[in-house]
Amino acid sequence: MANTLLVTLRSLYSPLRRDVVKLSNTILSQSTRSLYAKATLGLDTFVQQKQQIRQQMGNIEEKFKEKMNTFATEDSKNMIFTEDLKNMIYLAEADDDFDLIIKMMKKFNGQNKQLRFGNFVFGPVVMRLFHIYNKPELALECFNSPQLEGFFDQLITYQILLDLLYENEKYEEMLRVFETIQSRQLEATKYPRNAVVLAMAACYKLNSQESLDYALKLWKQLGDAGHFPMRRATTFCAGLALNQGKPEAAMEILAAVRKPNYVTIRNLKVRALSEIGRLDEAIVILKSVISEDVPGNVPHTFNRDVMERVKSAVLKMDNPDVSLEFNRLETLFEKQGHVSNSTLDEQLCAEIQQPPVMHNRQENRFSRYDPKTRRNQYSDTRQRPGLKDLM
């Protein structure tokens, strides 16, 4: 009787051995695009505004650009007004236009602040222009220019710049920008939420021991400061730890998540548990989605590559009971649509669609505080909150 039962278990177990594939240690990162959706960054609204301005100024565009070229020279006594710079930003297309805008920005930023009565914040608008035309090098140059100090110091501007660098795979540059952002402590915060997400995304994409060390150090600093990172920052950090063969670190990171039922969290936990040999706990999480399913709703899913990793761990354990349980679950999952063909990497790097947190406050901030004091003390003469027509 015992022999018959063992033969039966082995027959159920054998499909696992035939089907399993050799897996690398890394979640293969194949998707490179903007991390934040266009609407989240205000890019779609910017394009609409740009089209309106071009229609309004179509007949005088060339004359206007000629005049601005004259006004922007160092020896010209003509001032660059808010409307001049704003219109030029929306009219820009050619490389010469970008050169002119930079000259105008530097002159505008250096003009007597006492004469600046407008309340238009240019940082987010210029950075959207660079993003639309894919100008990461120019964006970095302007961000780091001493002549444009304070010009790009808005939280939403940081987010747009980092997203542009992410789209162009400039991950090392992202981390340098993030360190600059930390040193400026805009709005009295050293860890802007969306900037932290993008910094963790850069570490994840670099996928090296050095980037893991950076991410774990940042994670510890966040905890020491009492910050609760956004879920995407958490999943990037945990995913990187898994890629670098540190499932224990991934489990500690995921333990900080307040709502563990998100699909990315479940997948990361299942993979981490399977890699440290705690398959019983991994199977409990797998089984939990069956009880959570509600008729008529989209079923909870696990990524196929994660399921393959669990299958590989089950084979290594060589336990017929565990194999039987997993084989039963895998068959049920395939039948009921609980297995997603998207990879874990694709899910981790999916575009963030929700509106930016407190977008109005982030963009409608005044120009930079006194660089000598490095404190958030604003002067009334330098206040430049953002325009509603750009929101």
Residue position matching structure tokens 């905890």? 223
Q: What pLDDT does residue 299 have?
A: 77
Domain boundary among 100, 119, 152: 152
Total structural domains within the chain = 3
List, in order, residues 6 or more apart from 174 with CB less than 8 Å away: 162, 165, 166, 198, 199, 201, 202
| Domain contains 384 | no
Residues 62, 140 share a domain? yes
- pLDDT at residue 30 is higher than 50: no
Tokens of 331: 């068959």
Domain boundary among 123, 152, 181: 152
Residues 73, 147 share a domain? yes
Q: What pLDDT does residue 293 have?
A: 56
| Domain contains 34 | no
Across 137-151, average pLDDT: 96
- Give the CA dihedral 68, 69, 71, 75, nearest 10 degrees: 170
Q: What pLDDT does residue 294 have?
A: 56
Residues 51, 148 share a domain? yes
Q: How confident is the model at residue 187 (pLDDT cuts 50, 70, 90)?
A: confident
- pLDDT at residue 297 is higher than 80: no
Beta strands in the chain (DSSP E): 302-303, 339-340
| Domain contains 29 | no
Sign of CA dihedral 209, 211, 214, 219: negative
Helix (H, G, I), strand (E, B) or coil at 51: helix
Tokens of 163: 């997203």
CA pair distance 68, 104, nearest whole angstrom = 8
Q: What pLDDT does residue 260 have?
A: 85
- pLDDT at residue 85 is higher than 80: yes
Across 278-283, average pLDDT: 95
- pLDDT at residue 9 is higher than 70: no
Please give the distance of CA 272 from its chain centroid, rounded to a whole number: 23
Number of Cβ within a 10 Å radius of residue 391 = 12
Q: What pLDDT does residue 378 have?
A: 34
Q: What pLDDT does residue 377 have?
A: 36
Between 28-42, 58-72, 215-229, 340-354, the lowest mean confidence (pLDDT) is in 28-42
Q: Which of 96, 106, 25 is nearest to 62 (CA)?
A: 96
Across 57-63, average pLDDT: 91
- In Å, what is the CA distance from 388 to each residue of 32, 49, 160, 274, 361? 32, 12, 18, 50, 11
CA pair distance 253, 239, nearest whole angstrom = 10
Please state whether the predicted TM-score (pTM) of the whole model is above 0.75.
yes
**AA letter at 100:** L
Q: Which of 258, 299, 250 is nearest to 278 (CA)?
A: 250
| Domain contains 107 | yes
DSSP state of 79: P
Domain region containing 94? 40-152
Q: What pLDDT does residue 58 have?
A: 84
Domain boundary among 104, 124, 152: 152
CA pair distance 192, 159, nearest whole angstrom = 9
DSSP state string for 141-190: HHHH-GGGTTTT-SHHHHHHHHHHHHHTT-HHHHHHHHHHHHHHTGGG-S
Q: Which one has a higher pLDDT value, 61 or 24? A: 61
Q: What pLDDT does residue 321 have?
A: 92
Mean per-residue pLDDT over the chain, rounded: 84
DSSP state of 352: B
Across 217-243, average pLDDT: 95
Q: What pLDDT does residue 114 have?
A: 60
Across 128-148, average pLDDT: 97
Residue-wise burial string across 23-47, b where 16 or more C-beta atoms lie within 10 A, e elsewhere: eeeebebeeeebbbbbebbbbeebe
Contact 328, 11 (CB under 8 A): no
Q: Which residues pair with 339 in a beta bridge?
A: 302
Q: What pLDDT does residue 355 have?
A: 55
- pLDDT at residue 374 is higher than 80: no
